[in-house]
Amino acid sequence: MSQVQEKYLMAPKVVAVHLSPAYTMSKPSADSITLVTGLGVEGDAHNGATVKHRSRVAKDPMQPNLRQVHLIHSELFDELRSKGFGVYPGMIGENITTVGIDLLSLPTGTMLKIGRQVTVKITGLRNPCAQLDGLIPGLMKAVLGLESNGEVIRKTGVMSVVVSGGEVRPSDRITVELPKSEHLPLQAV
């Protein structure tokens, strides 16, 4: 069995964690990160109750920050490497890299319990930006797809808010709790 096949059989868990105090596309890996309830990743440029992404601040700096914690499935990196893109965890801006969980198929409002104390609530899909092509030419196109109905597929992970804070480390288990209400598909936030 290959390493890639083995990854898909694992229980969902954290592969790596990342943060950057500066507004950079890539985020360096860390031994652990601390999530703060209602704010995001302590020490990360996107931490805060109101929106921190520059394009969103320009539109309305007082809108709630629905992008406190960014999660990407490591399986995306496997897919991109198979297409010739030299990508690695943290490179495209996520705070938490996961394995064994299809983040993109989860409904809005799904709770992810990470480790013993952390809970994040998925708010939507990350909308990839043209800065990806600054990392590797053609990367932006590679992280987008099309449904048969012409709808855009955004592959660059999900955004979430911190419901219950605490420390997150690589190898922490992830438990999925689907919403009890109607399962609404993820939209870009």
Query: Is 54:65 a contact under the CB 8 Å cutoff?
Result: no
Residue 185 located in a structural domain: no
Residue 183 located in a structural domain: no
What pLDDT sits at residue 4? 44
Residue 184 located in a structural domain: no
Residue 189 located in a structural domain: no
What pLDDT sits at residue 7? 46
Residue 188 located in a structural domain: no
pTM for this predicted structure: 0.92
User: Looking at residue 41, which CATH number applies to its domain?
Assistant: 2.40.33.20
Reported confidence tier of residue 59, pLDDT bands at 50, 70, 90: confident
Range of the domain at 91: 3-177
Query: Is 26:86 a contact under the CB 8 Å cutoff?
Result: no
Q: Nearest 10 degrees: CA dihedral of 80, 189, 119, 177? A: -80
For the chain, what is the domain count? 1
Residue 87 located in a structural domain: yes
pLDDT at 2 over 50: no
Other C-beta atoms lying within 10 Å of the C-beta of residue 16: 22
The residue type at 172: D
